[in-house]
Amino acid sequence: MSFGEPFFDRLILHLDGTHAGPMNMAVDQAWLEHSTIPVLRIYTWDQPTVTLGYAQSLPKLQDALPGWPVVRRWTGGGVVLHQEDYTYSVIVPSADPWSETTALESYRRIHGSLAEALSQNGHPGCRLALQEDVIEAPFCFVAPAVHDVIRGPVKVAGAGQRRGKLGLLHQGSVQQVILKPEFWTQWATRLAKEVLTVETAPEPVLARATELERRRYALPEWLADRDDHLPRI
């Protein structure tokens, strides 16, 4: 099956800069809260960083982690080591009907499109992992899940998702390959019929991200127990 048909009518391609872990997580959530059209955000890290899945236990994993800063994601999935990877997020607000795509199907479609883009840009042989490729382990890139992107025995792309009344947040990482800078623009044009490229998020997104960084993602309580200082609804 080809995944070449665009998913979206319009898409914002946010070629973001470099941030610390808490701000990177905060910007994704802020986009989900404020955007009315899908966003593909590309970003980097100010230093090697570990992200944990929303439901993972830090005490159980602590001894196996490198001595890097650690931040907890709002999405699920396993431990990801961000050092030489390429990090992206697909953010689909609830206003877009595509946000109602089921969890498994959205994962399959996003990664299917990514695998095709990788195969056509210097990395032939990328495909979606099948059930027989699955490995159970807490570290994401040694443990392919169904519909992750693999190339031979090597996992090259995985992600975590969060779904709710705000829409869909898909936070992904691409590893074990070298990508040219233009790759993300090329993939964006596969995802949407019309692409608007920005390097700076709108002021409401930035303001909300600053608040989320301070009141959620930078807190020791969030890292330890998913507790934050945000108002309860």
Each residue's pLDDT, cut to its tens digit, for the chain (233 residues) gives: 567 789 999 999 999 999 999 999 999 999 999 999 999 999 999 999 999 999 999 999 999 999 999 999 999 999 999 999 999 999 999 999 999 999 999 999 999 999 999 999 999 999 999 999 998 888 878 789 999 999 998 999 999 999 999 999 999 999 999 999 999 999 999 999 999 999 999 999 999 999 999 999 999 999 999 999 998 75
Please give the backbone phi and psi of residue 21, each rounded to the nearest 5 degrees, phi first.
-55, -50
Q: Which of 23, 140, 168, 192 is catalytic?
A: 140
Rg (CA), the chain: 17
DSSP label at residue 84: S
Q: What residues contact 60, with CB distance under 8 A and at least 6 apart?
A: 138
Where do the domains of the chain lie, and which CATH numbers do they carry? 8-225 (3.30.930.10)
Whether 126 sits among the annotated catalytic residues: the reply is: no
What does pTM read for this prediction? 0.96
Q: What residues contact 26, with CB distance under 8 A and at least 6 apart?
A: 208, 209, 210, 211, 212, 213, 216, 217
Contact 185, 178 (CB under 8 A): no
Q: What is the pLDDT of residue 232?
A: 73
